[in-house]
Amino acid sequence: MSRSTQGPWRRGWRRFRAHRGGTVATALLFLIVGSCLGAGWIAPRDPAVQELELAYSPPTWSHPFGTDALGRDLFARVLHGGRISLAVGVVATLVSLLIGISWGMIAGWKGGAVDDLMMRIVDMLYSLPFMFFVILLVAWFGRSLLLLFAALGAVQWLTMSRIVRGEMRRLKNAEFVQAAQALGVGRTSLMLRHLLPNMLGPILVYATLTVPAVMLEEAFLSFLGLGVQPPMASWGSLANEGASAINAVQSSWWLILFPGLFLSLTLLALNFVGDALRDAFDPQQSK
């Protein structure tokens, strides 16, 4: 099959596989995610078991990442905490995609006064300090993991709505849409089966860039004590514990190094994957 006859998705994935930084970042991301999902086998110690006599032990063969103030194995805590951090990033991103795609598709399809009103609402919400809004939600409704998912997702949908709205305005008068309407395809089916699949390129790219943004926000909230609550832990909350353990009296550097390293590598890999996908599915290169 010649390059000229390949579809945009096939060409995009071919360019992505040829992107060295994107492929290395993808492999690193799979390694980190696989390690967290397989934490029970890789780090068999119970992350909640306390051995007070081993408190603040530096890295050893039996405790590769050392122990915390309660003698808990940091290696197990980092891998299990990664599950929470990754879940927050993925679920909150899905929430933002659901809201942003729905809002943008309706605004772009309706057009006119409806479009203007919906986009002015988006503009007004843009003027609000996102993190302050999330902190207010968490402080007002209580600290729960589900609320954290909803709160972070609820402030990340604005850019997605603009992207989808622009794509909808571009595609709604295309020939394949007019042909589908002439065949009697309903509006809902037209949007879900014909228009949405043609927007998946930019949606996928933005989603991969939203996940690290959400994870960083969760880490910031956990660092303030407003994120994941004990006995659960995330990379952000573990880094917060590590920061509090570094003072003039002691320097338990491993408590902040390893959670911060895992968080940084994950954010770096996700950003590289997002940049590679953006370059691969750039419409100007899809010819």
Q: Which residues, including other chains, have CB under 8 Å from residue 50's CB and lie 6 or more apart?
A: 70, 71, 72
Contact (Cβ atoms closer than 8 angstroms) between residue 92 and residue 207: no
Instruction: Report the pLDDT averaged over residues 24-45.
Output: 92
Which pLDDT tens digit goes with each residue over 118-168? 999 998 888 877 777 777 777 777 677 777 777 788 778 888 899 999 988
Q: At CA 178, angle to CA 174 and CA 179, rounded to 5?
A: 115
Which residue range forms the structural domain that includes residue 217? 3-285
Say how far apart CA 243 and CA 237 lie, in whole Å. 10
Which pLDDT tens digit goes with each residue over 212-253? 888 888 888 877 777 777 778 888 888 888 887 777 667 788
- CA 30 and chain centroid, separation: 15
Q: Over the chain, what is the mean pLDDT?
A: 83
- Which CATH number belongs to the domain containing residue 107 in this structure? 1.10.3720.10
pLDDT tier at 4 (50, 70, 90 boundaries)?
very low
pLDDT confidence of residue 248: 60
Percent of the chain residues past pLDDT 70, beyond the cut: 92
Closest CA to 284 of 15, 1, 2: 15
Q: How many CB atoms lie within 10 A of CB 194?
A: 17
Number of folded domains that form the chain: 1
Query: Model-level pTM greater than 0.85?
Result: no
